Structures are given as structure tokens and as C-alpha cells.
Amino acid sequence: MVSHRKRKKEAERLGVTATELDLVALLEEVLDQVRWLKVLGYANQHLLGEHLKIPAAERDRILAAAARAVEDDRQEHAWRARIAALKEAFLRQRRELRLALREGPAAAEAAHGGE
């Protein structure tokens, strides 16, 4: 895990906030995982239907068991927690920026860059 200071420095270099950079990193991670899950899903579906000649009822039972396993997936729960934290950070920044805008341009710049 990269330190907060390094993330903030990288975000400044890119012209975004650390929260925005965290969101992009999370999206990239999720998309990589989704791609592999799709590959595995299509491969398993093909294997069950074409090569093993599994009856539809048995295939549905297997898919239901797999769906239950997904519900217990810790990685998904971690992603949801990270999304909730990022959402809270975005909302907090938005509130701070609105308040700063009421106080003047210098305060608004400090609020946006001051994460």
C-alpha cells in the first residue's frame, strides 16, 4: 500500500485530488477482476453445457451455489467499503468547497487543494 503522502504527491502531479486518484485505482482494480471473472464464467458455461452435458437443472443448482459464494466474497465487501469511504470523501470535499466559496476565492482554493 502506498503512503498517503506519496498518493497525495502523485495526485498533485496529475492535477487531481488523492480521492480522485484512489477512485481511479479502485476502478482499474475492479475492471481487471471483472475481466477475469467473465473469462472464467464463459469458460465454465461452455464446459458445463457443451463438454460435460450437464442438465439445465443441475447447471442452475451449480450457478445458485456459485452466487452464494460470490455473496461471501471478502474482496467484493472490501471494494464496497472503499467505495463508501471514497463517496464520503467526495461529499466532504464538496461541502468544504461550497462553504469556502461562500467565504471567498482564496478559501475555495485552499479547500480544494487542502484535502
Write out the chain's pLDDT in tens, 115 residues: 678 888 889 888 888 888 888 999 999 999 999 999 889 988 888 888 888 888 889 888 988 998 888 888 888 889 889 999 998 988 888 888 888 888 877 766 676 665 5
pLDDT (0 to 100) of residue 107: 65
Question: Where exactly are the structural domains of the chain?
Answer: 4-113
**Cα gap 39→47, rounded to integer Å:** 12
Nine cell digits for residue 44 = 465454465
**Cα gap 100→105, rounded to integer Å:** 7
pLDDT (0 to 100) of residue 108: 62
